[in-house]
Structure 1
Amino acid sequence: MITSIKNEKVKAWKKLHKRKERINTNSFLVEGFHLLEEAWKSEWQIKEIIAQENVDLPAWAESFPVTWVTDHVFEHISQTKTPQGVAAIMEMKRFNNLDGDYILLIDAIQDPGNLGTIIRTADAAGFDGIILGDGTVDLYNDKVIRATQGSIFHIPLHQKNLQTSIITLKEIGFSVWATALDNAVKYNETEIDSKVALILGNEGAGVKTALIKEADKIVNIPIHGEAESLNVSIAAGILMYYVKG
């Protein structure tokens, strides 16, 4: 039982709140029973489980190293308002191959809630993978992880340059769709290709011009009311479900 926040292990866990340390250690922190169970069901590596005193752990947790801590210590490392008393140190996973027929490309989305929701929706819609481009919020940000509701562990996630990714995708037969306002056709009037790579852009600036120029099709979602625009995660859901038929 660790009782002090000055313990070296506790200091190391706390450092994982920062992106730099996550990259340095190839590790990240997840919290809560649901996320831990989703991680366990996946092929991601659980390095260590952290449990608050008097918390009942599920039986499967016994097959992993468990470190028990006091309430005070757990609250110190927690990033949630109402901690459930269980967390885990996870190893980041590298995906090499772009498999499947439906790939989502993320161009500099900044809001962690938006990115997490998009990952969750891509999982639900049956997309085969996601490529996170430069300037996108950190995948392992705690708010992103929570917003995915565990889908982070169910869909291949790549962190690559989008320009080179588009070239690769075209070479293997993908039709690249970009979302934009100008020179675009309504998404639901667009013929669905057998292999689609869909680009979603930054909340304020949209998809970069250089990427739009590489697209085979430029689509938009019509606005019928007075709203200036749609939230990018809502737009993502509409487009992904359309593409999947």
Structure 2
Amino acid sequence: MISKNEIKQLRFLHSKKYREEKQVFIVEGDKMVREAIESPMEVVQLYYCSGSSQEFESIGTLISEKEMKQISQLSSSSPSLAVVRPNEFSESLQTIAEKPLLILDSIRDPGNLGTIIRTADWFGIETILVSKDTVDCFNSKVVQSTMGSIFRVQISYRDLVPAMLELKKVEVPLFGAFMDGDSPEILSNVVKRGALVIGSESFGISDAVKREIDHSITIKKDGMGESLNAAVATSILLYQWSLSPRN
């Protein structure tokens, strides 16, 4: 059973402002809810409908399909939904700089961000630094498109230029994806540390961020396409990076 007040509070979580205020977000679907339970994050509340996974019965609240539709953020509601509290990002830049980093500048499309997070997880990227104007990573479309990677990849919203200057102090090479640059094969030579910067499809990497990049790289174009989807470009470059001796 779920109260009208609970439904109201859960619907408030559809808003970024309220998610930030309460420091929680929503995940939907048996697979995502199960991954949330198994992750280091805290599952604050869990709701499920009849026919959902039996493992939720001991820790969740049974509700009707009508009630689930009222609290779901999806066009077609799932049989289960959890409210999750993410872990606080506490590691210093010096610490996370010991491993490969991904930096995202003004990625506004939720589907793109979700796919990039999922791709980063595949290639073993544990931390992504994102500009403050990048879409909220706990937006429902982002969360669902990560397919569970949101629980394994740390996302840190920052002013990118100061962060990049800090990385330079500890000699982390910064690579940026541009329309004109060197072959991405140079990523294969990055044995230890490094950071790859990806900009938005519409405007690319901003001028302020561009000034701090050490190496410009580009994906060779043989056809007539205007540009690559940001998530696709990230996948290609992370694959190239995965060929380095560090792996």
1:1-245 alignment runs, 5 A limit: 1-2=1-2, 7-52=4-49, 54-59=50-55, 62=58, 64=59, 66-97=60-91, 98=93, 99=96, 100-182=98-180, 184-189=181-186, 192-193=189-190, 194-245=192-243
Distance 1:190 1:67, change over 3 A: closer
**Shift of residue 67 of structure 1?**
2.3
Kept in 1: contact 2:188–2:240 (CA 8 A): no
Which whole-Å CA distance do the structure 2 matches of 1:58 and 1:132 have between them? 38
Name the aligned partner's letter for residue 87 of structure 2.
K
Return closer, same or farther for 1:42/1:61 CA change in 2, 3 Å cut-off. Answer: farther
Instruction: Give the whole-Å Cα distance in 1 for the aligned partners of 2:52 and 2:117.
Output: 30
The answer to whether the Cα contact below 8 Å between 2:105 and 2:198 also exists between their aligned partners in 1 is yes
Matched residue SS, 2:211: helix
Q: Supply the distance in 1 between the matched residues of 2:187 and 2:147 (Cα, whole angstroms).
A: 31
CA 191–68 in structure 1, closer or farther in 2 if over 3 Å, else same: closer
Runs of 5+ in structure 2 lacking a partner? none
**TM-score normalised by length of structure 1:** 0.92
Deviating 4+ runs (over 4 angstroms): none
Aligned residues between the structures: 238
| Pairwise CA distance, 1:70 | 1.8
Q: Percent identity?
A: 31
C-alpha contact (below 8 Å) 2:187/2:241 kept by paired residues: no
Mark the runs of 5 or more structure 1 residues left unpaired by the alignment: none
1:59, distance to aligned residue in structure 2 (A): 2.4
Q: CA deviation at 1:43?
A: 0.4
